[in-house]
Structure 1
Amino acid sequence: MLGSSLANPEDLSGKMFTFPTETDWAHVRITTSKQSLEAATVCLRFFTDITRDFSLFSMATPSHQNGFLIFKKQQVDEFQVFVKNAMVTFNGQKYNTNTWQSVCCTWDSDTGLTQLWLNGSPSSRKFTSSALFNEPIIIVLGQEQDSHGGRFDDQQSFVGMMSDLQMWDYALDPDQIHSYNHHLNVTDGNVLTWGSLEFRKTDQVHIEEKEHE
């Protein structure tokens, strides 16, 4: 189903992935050489008008289908984050449709604490898991994995645009997250970086020039 074989890393600066249709198969599968994690931060920007549940970032391992999942719930201000299948809910942040928004999520095994930042505003910090990742990782955009690399559901698919994905193997501090949110200089992700991304995508996902925010 994927439109091309693995290629050399691609510089997506100034670009976006467009997911134009609700499906149970259109997605981007991202490759990383990092297969163990003691901590993580994921940041990305997205634009959508859908009001049902949808996945923003799905990382699975053979033992944990929701290894690291950022999931937007139907309720307008509710997000769920899963770490090694342990789920926490974040409420009360200012979420809007039809505008570019940035989301960052941090997790650290030293404390097991997870935090969600929406458009630069932090959530409360909540415990998920203090267990390390040491299994093969599959990362998917556009769908939510119900198995290691598959079992997608169209009612959890993303429809809209995504850009500026970065992932680090440590928890960014608030100043760094503020810099990401405001398009200031921030160190490229050392797990995934938008300026050098290795991925495969299905034909239904398009790469386009990013629209101005």
Structure 2
Amino acid sequence: RKPRVKQLFKVPQHLPACVDLQKSCDTFLDFEGRSNRKHARLLQNFSSMDSVTICTHLQFDPKDFGFSAIFSYSTPSYLNEFQLRANLTRGKHVQLALLVHGVHGPYLKAFDHDDLWHSVCVSWSHNEGRWALHTDGVLIAKGEGLNATDSFGPGGLFIIGQEQDTYGGSFKADESFSGSITELHIWNRVLNSSEIAIMEKKCSPPSLGLFLCLHCYVEKQSHRDHSKAFFDCILELQAKI
């Protein structure tokens, strides 16, 4: 069955090189302006993981500044389980930071704050709390000591575009994401730099350990209408605009 709709919210004017609307069923999340409502939730059952890699393509609103949560994962027992955060300062590069089980990593210079698409991969391992940040296929930084005592908790909620101040809610506009997201993939292992560089060049995510991708059955919700778009893929996603 061919997809009837190929985007959620709207298709951005410019797309990542990896995306071809004529050949894929990619879902685009376009968060236009900060809001305490706009978000997308992955309807996926997460198990406990000792390692994880999350990659996506991002396009930041060039007129937006401040701190924001690109995505957040919370469990019933721990709110700040896993987050990717951004710091946008006028005249400076986009800075990104990883937060794992309440332990906040450093903000690192990632790429220009422009109107272009950039790929981002963050990885973490329970083994000595090792973490790494890649942007546009290149290793930016890596380190240790980012929560070496706990695994990636099971049974949580993965929210795109918002930080969760309570489990699955209490969103704040001044911490929300403004921009576009697509090509979100999650692996239950650490991808090495060679794999990420090849993925950047060939636009083909490694299959080993890949258990989630943002190609999905979508339920779009608003206060005025309810509509559904069907995709040929296995993931479910729920969005509120």
- The TM tier, using the shorter chain, reads 0.7 to 0.9
Bigger relative contact order, structure 1 or 2 (CA pairs below 8 A, ≥6 apart): 1
Deviation, structure 1 residue 112: 0.9
Deviation, structure 1 residue 198: 0.9
Q: Which 10-residue stretch deviates more, 142-151 or 68-77?
A: 68-77
Secondary structure, in 3 states, of the residue corresponding to 1:32? coil
Counterpart pick for 1:167 among 186, 192, 209: 186
Distance 2:29 2:168 in 1: 19
Deviation, structure 1 residue 183: 4.3
Counterpart pick for 1:124 among 141, 149, 171: 141
Deviation, structure 1 residue 73: 1.1
> Contact 2:74–2:156 (CA<8 Å) still a contact in 1?
yes
Counterpart pick for 1:190 among 197, 210, 219: 210
Distance 1:25 1:173 in 2: 36
Secondary structure, in 3 states, of the residue corresponding to 2:110? coil
Aligned to 1:68: 82
> Contact 1:34–1:191 (CA<8 Å) still a contact in 2?
no
Aligned to 2:33: 21
**One-letter code of the match for 2:86?**
K
Aligned to 1:200: 238
Distance 1:30 1:80 in 2: 21
Q: Which 10-residue stretch deviates more, 179-188 or 162-171?
A: 179-188
TM-score by length of 1: 0.82
Distance 1:134 1:71 in 2: 19
Counterpart pick for 2:69 among 55, 63, 83: 55
Identity of aligned residues (%): 22
> Contact 1:54–1:158 (CA<8 Å) still a contact in 2?
yes
**One-letter code of the match for 1:38?**
D
Distance 1:80 1:165 in 2: 17
Q: Highest CA radius of gyration, 1 or 2?
A: 2
Distance 1:77 1:46, change over 3 A: closer
Distance 1:187 1:121 in 2: 16
Secondary structure, in 3 states, of the residue corresponding to 1:177? helix
Higher strand share: 2
Distance 2:133 2:77 in 1: 24
TM-score by length of 2: 0.74
Aligned to 1:110: 127
**One-letter code of the match for 1:201?**
A
Deviation, structure 1 residue 55: 1.3
> Contact 1:39–1:107 (CA<8 Å) still a contact in 2?
yes
Alignment RMSD, CA only? 2.0
Distance 2:198 2:65 in 1: 28
